[in-house]
Structure 1
Amino acid sequence: MKITYHVLLITASLATTIACKKEDAAQPVVPVQAQTVTNLPADPTTGVNPTTGQPLGTTGKYTFYNLRDNKTVANTDSASNKWDIGFRGTSVIINGGPIRSGQGGAYVYTGTFEQLTTVPTSATFAQDQTSGLAIPAVSGSGWYNYNSSTNIVTPIPGRVLVIRTGDGKYAKLEVLSYYENAPAAPVATSRSRFYTFRYVYQPDGSTKLN
């Protein structure tokens, strides 16, 4: 009777283990979802000095953003690991490098947002330095072009920012507009320094971005 009891117990245990494995295998892999952020202020101006042509009302402060939580972070937390990316005018900073507290870095990818399904193995992540930013704030070199004749900033088609976040995860981000309410054809009077962008954040630490 004891032998029979043990055989039944082992059989039941194996059946439970197999059932659990089947249940685990049946669980689908949920793809990461793209998020869209609209009208994120990036130190907007209140006007222009008619004499000097310089912007008025700017604070010089960045707007910090946490990609994992999809929310802004208080400027008082600028020295923490709570934020991943910051915006001020056309400058975009990353929470990483010798002048930051996080593990972040950035890589400018040439190609479409949809085509970028994983972080390229050849990607070299730059970090913000005192001598320059990981994402160049220069027309044609980073995410935007600037037309001096029209005074318009436009995102460069086929430029995607690959971000290593402050906590070492990965994301991809595409700037869609630099103007309030994302007008299809901004003009010189359109209110600038308001980002609309879409991004995908990978929470599991892998390099998959779809």
Structure 2
Amino acid sequence: MAIPVVLLMCLLSCKKDENNDTKTNYEDGVSTVVYDLAGDTKASVADGVEGKERRPFNSFFFRLSAKLQSWDSSAANKQSNSWDLAFTGVYNAMVYVNNGADAVSPGYGGNGKGLIIAVDSPYSKVTVAPAPEDMETNNLKFVGWDGYPQAYNTGWFFYSLSTHLAIPIKNRTFIIRTAEGKYAKLELLNVYQGNPPAVTDLHWPAPYFTFRYYVQEDGSRNLRTP
């Protein structure tokens, strides 16, 4: 049965408005919001996936202040301060900070000062970074699958062993010290294309990252956003 033109236009308009509302909820006039940043979309964990090949996912690097993505995996780049976050592992979902003194960091051996801690609080409610010594004590080093390994990491998503889908954890914010020593806050929102509120399809396009962050450029620990 054909859908009347007026009804069709309404449906499309409502859908568009809903998408705009979702984006507006992230936009606060101060934070940077990144939508659908493509990871290594040509890699797969299984054989026979159309358009993909079964192989490890190539890591990429992201500099917060410059909003810049890089695929340069050379030792020189890893040990530089040209990036703050490294998206690694399966579906690029393990996110490391650039810390030259930390042997697990891709930046090991460089001058990066990166730290990351988790706060179970909505993004807008996180208004100040902890003292440097508290950041050091509670540094997670990386974030990914929540509870894996349980004694080492507080993650940004749940992973279902039955559905094999990643479910982002709501109201978990990460406080970061960047490679250059500035403080920032980060909310990782989705790994699936289009930032869907829920995913039931194992073949939904991924990895496409939606996240937002705020860097305090004056060097203080003030992370207040509207």
Cα-Cα RMSD: 2.6
- The TM-score with structure 2 as length reference comes to 0.67
Where do 1:79-158 residues align within 5 Å?
79-88=79-88, 89-96=92-99, 97-99=101-103, 100=107, 101=110, 102-121=112-131, 123-125=134-136, 134-140=141-147, 141-158=154-171
Q: Does the 8 A contact of 1:32 with 1:209 survive in 2?
A: no
Q: How many residues align?
A: 173
Residue 193 of structure 2 corresponds to residue 180 of structure 1: yes
**Which of the residues 32, 35, 38 maps onto 2:35?**
38
In the alignment, the residues of structure 1 paired with residue 64 and residue 213 of structure 2 have an alpha-carbon distance, to the nearest angstrom, of 8
Q: Give the match's secondary structure for 2:32.
A: strand
In the alignment, the residues of structure 2 paired with residue 108 and residue 116 of structure 1 have an alpha-carbon distance, to the nearest angstrom, of 11
Structure 1 stretch displaced more, 139-148 or 198-207? 139-148
In the alignment, the residues of structure 2 paired with residue 71 and residue 203 of structure 1 have an alpha-carbon distance, to the nearest angstrom, of 16
Q: Structure 1 unaligned runs (5+)?
A: 1-30
Structure 1 stretch displaced more, 62-71 or 140-149? 140-149
Residue 175 of structure 2 corresponds to residue 162 of structure 1: yes
Offset at residue 155 of structure 1 (A)? 1.2
Q: Structure 2 unaligned runs (5+)?
A: 1-27, 148-153
Percent identical across equivalent pairs? 29
In the alignment, the residues of structure 1 paired with residue 67 and residue 138 of structure 2 have an alpha-carbon distance, to the nearest angstrom, of 22
Q: Give the match's secondary structure for 1:114.
A: helix
In the alignment, the residues of structure 1 paired with residue 195 and residue 33 of structure 2 have an alpha-carbon distance, to the nearest angstrom, of 12
Offset at residue 125 of structure 1 (A)? 3.5
Letter in 2 for 1:38: Y
Residue 69 of structure 2 corresponds to residue 72 of structure 1: yes
In the alignment, the residues of structure 2 paired with residue 73 and residue 126 of structure 1 have an alpha-carbon distance, to the nearest angstrom, of 30
Map of 2:17 onto structure 1: none
Offset at residue 48 of structure 1 (A)? 5.1
Letter in 2 for 1:174: E
In the alignment, the residues of structure 2 paired with residue 36 and residue 206 of structure 1 have an alpha-carbon distance, to the nearest angstrom, of 21
Describe the shift of the 1:204–1:191 C-alpha distance in structure 2 as closer, same or farther (beyond 3 A): same
Larger Rg: 1
Describe the shift of the 1:193–1:127 C-alpha distance in structure 2 as closer, same or farther (beyond 3 A): farther
- The TM-score with structure 1 as length reference comes to 0.72
